[in-house]
Structure 1
Amino acid sequence: MTDIILHHYDLSPFAEKARLMFGIKGLAWKGVQIPLVMPKPDLMPLTGGYRRTPVMQIGADIFCDTRLIAEELERRFDGPSLMAGGLGLANVVSGFAEEKLFWAVAGLVVGTNADRFPMAFHEDRAKMRGGSGNVNLDKLKAASGMQVEQLRPQLGWAADLFRDGRSFLAGETAGLADLTLHHPLWFLKNSGGEAAAVLDDYPALPAFMARVEAIGHGEMSEMSAAEALDVATNASPEAGRGVAANAEGWKAGDAMAVMPTDYARDPVVGELTGYGGNAITVLRNDDRVGAVAVHFPRVGYALRRAG
């Protein structure tokens, strides 16, 4: 079977979510370290412009966004299910944990550690959010107090989920919903200092995190970016899954641009080969690797006609 390849960096909270998916499934996988900031010259040939972390590669098929990565792992691989409590629970938790909670955590972590991050990091993240890239470190630091105000009630809500003594959100079995709640907390804890200390007032959360982290990351081995590009070059994308009849007017073969609807809105241009269920697929050709299929979730991503 073709290797699972994860393009990630160690400190990425969303990559930690994906790594724990491999742990639940008990999978072996290859890890390719990518830069924290643009440019990412060895990732762009695969994604066509998508720059978020992580990205999963299987042959010449490229899967973007951890929600779709989870569904693809569940589709392809037997073993323990990622869907304890159901996909609906995971997506409802995502609406809380990966939006308000995550951005409050990120604001606090970056604000309290502003001087520890290189300016290139701050500028890159400002551009991701649609800004000019100009950064005022004093404002970032000053905003951390507001982030704590926003974060504490949300941590209280999260802790309340375990008030009845359950181990995981769906009971005694970990699933995608738990990994979705865990990774913003993991980012907070790993930041250290005064940001991480906020967790001390909610002991149910560190206990929950310890249970999740005991899952591990499966069996990981390193792969170079060059080797991953060679894998794509020597493979062919899987056949497109077709365009559903109720595809909002899109047709197979349409030249499309796909982009996130919130931030890092870099378009990926290609030929539409899949639209239905929870996924969008565009087929693109790259001078470096040839034909690749890039897959996105439908929710949170917009289609536009190319050009």
Structure 2
Amino acid sequence: MTDAIILHHYDGSPFAEKVRLMMGLKGLHWHGVDIPNIMPKPDLMPLTGGYRKTPVTQIGADIWCDTKLIAAELERRHPEPTLMKGGPGMAYMMSAFTEGQMFWTIAGLVMGTIADHMPDAFHQDRARMRGAPSANVDKLKAAAPLHREQLKPQLDWLVDLFADGRNWVAGDGPGLADLTAYHPLWFMSRGGRAVRTMLEPYPVLTEFMARVAGIGHGTFTEMPSAQALDVARTASPDAGRGIAENAEGWSEGDTVAVTPTDYARDPVTGTLVTYNGGEIAVRRTDDRVGDVVVHFPRVGFAIRRVS
């Protein structure tokens, strides 16, 4: 069980859908732990040390945060079939657009359109994630028409990727670039009819979405959160992958805090064991799980010393 892939997720998370499709593309078996879509997340925090975004992937006592790093680790452990059609640069550049500007345009449109149907606890949680003291639902609703207009040319840009008749973004088969382009559209398609109809003038995109959805999620079994904690407690985390020579003054054993640079800026504090390539990792100890190593990508995360 210590080698099992455990995905901490909830059904409606678009970023979790991206990882579920990674599992499907690689034909993997995995275990799913259902987590709340808002705080508190009492059975996730012992593993992550405070990181609250969804999803999180666990293998034994190692915890991977952020879908870019999850993809890289799945590729390392299960290289075939590859996620990296067209190379990692293609997928990561696609991520910079679809998971940045485009995703937040879609999120603003969806949340503003269905705001009256969402519980106040959800609105307040997402406001705290953005660093706001409280939610302003009226402002969310008022911004929806602007997001709608901003989204239209961005959808045109995606359509243009398929102008030469290709089925996939970066090759003769699906890869991470496709999953990265797909999951914001998936989130949009689940945002109610008023949002979903925006896709109707774009048959190229709806056909693309059907192809990606056909990849599936691999095979999976549900796992209680308590069992995932047991897996971590009985496993030993990886030793770490060392510190790069040009590591900007960082040394193995430094006490550091790692924080997302965009939102949900909850720091994770631990002992630095990896600052190498595209990864930062820290070792930490929790009473419920013992020693774990939490892995983050360098891009999109800040590191600082803790005295």
Both proteins in one fold, TM over 0.5: yes
Q: What is the CA–CA distance in structure 1 between the aligned matches of 2:138 and 2:128, rounded to whole Å? A: 18
**Correspondence list, 1:114-263, <5 A:** 114-132=115-133, 134-263=134-263
Normalised TM-score (structure 2): 0.98
- The one-letter amino acid paired with 1:252 is E
* Larger displacement relative to structure 2 (135-144 or 87-96): 135-144
Q: What is the CA–CA distance in structure 1 between the aligned matches of 2:152 and 2:214, rounded to whole Å? A: 26
Give ranges in structure 2 of 5+ residues lacking alignment: none
* CA apart distance, 1:59: 0.1
* CA apart distance, 1:78: 3.6
Q: Is the 8 A contact 1:26 1:79 kept in 2?
A: no
SS in 1 for 2:275: strand
- The one-letter amino acid paired with 1:42 is D
Match of 1:60 in 2: 61
SS in 1 for 2:217: coil
Normalised TM-score (structure 1): 0.98
Q: What is the CA–CA distance in structure 2 between the aligned matches of 1:47 and 1:154, rounded to whole Å? A: 34
* CA apart distance, 1:172: 2.1
Q: Is the 8 A contact 1:4 1:28 kept in 2?
A: yes
Q: What is the CA–CA distance in structure 2 between the aligned matches of 1:245 and 1:180, rounded to whole Å? A: 32
Q: Is the 8 A contact 2:281 2:296 kept in 1?
A: yes
Q: What is the CA–CA distance in structure 1 between the aligned matches of 2:135 and 2:224, rounded to whole Å? A: 33
- The one-letter amino acid paired with 1:179 is L
- The one-letter amino acid paired with 1:66 is T
- The one-letter amino acid paired with 1:107 is G
* CA apart distance, 1:136: 2.3
Question: Runs in 1 of length 4+ with deviation above 4 angstroms?
Answer: none
* CA apart distance, 1:192: 2.1
Q: What is the CA–CA distance in structure 2 between the aligned matches of 1:78 and 1:263, rounded to whole Å? A: 31
* CA apart distance, 1:273: 0.3
SS in 2 for 1:72: helix
Q: List per-residue Cα deviations over 1:59-80 (Å, max 9, x = no partner).
A: 0000000000000000011420
Match of 2:36 in 1: 35
Q: What is the CA–CA distance in structure 1 between the aligned matches of 2:172 and 2:123, rounded to whole Å? A: 40
Give ranges in structure 1 of 5+ residues lacking alignment: none
Match of 1:83 in 2: 84
Q: What is the CA–CA distance in structure 1 between the aligned matches of 2:171 and 2:251, rounded to whole Å? A: 42
Q: List per-residue Cα deviations over 1:191-249 (Å, max 9, x = no partner).
A: 12111111112111111010001000000110000000000000000111111111110
- The one-letter amino acid paired with 1:118 is P
SS in 2 for 1:115: helix
- The one-letter amino acid paired with 2:35 is I
* CA apart distance, 1:124: 0.5
Match of 1:100 in 2: 101
Match of 1:303 in 2: 303
Q: List per-residue Cα deviations over 1:11-59 (Å, max 9, x = no partner).
A: 0000000000001110000000000000000000000000000000000
Give RMSD over aligned pairs: 0.8
Q: What is the CA–CA distance in structure 2 between the aligned matches of 1:75 and 1:47, rounded to whole Å? A: 21
Q: What is the CA–CA distance in structure 1 between the aligned matches of 2:53 and 2:25, rounded to whole Å? A: 23
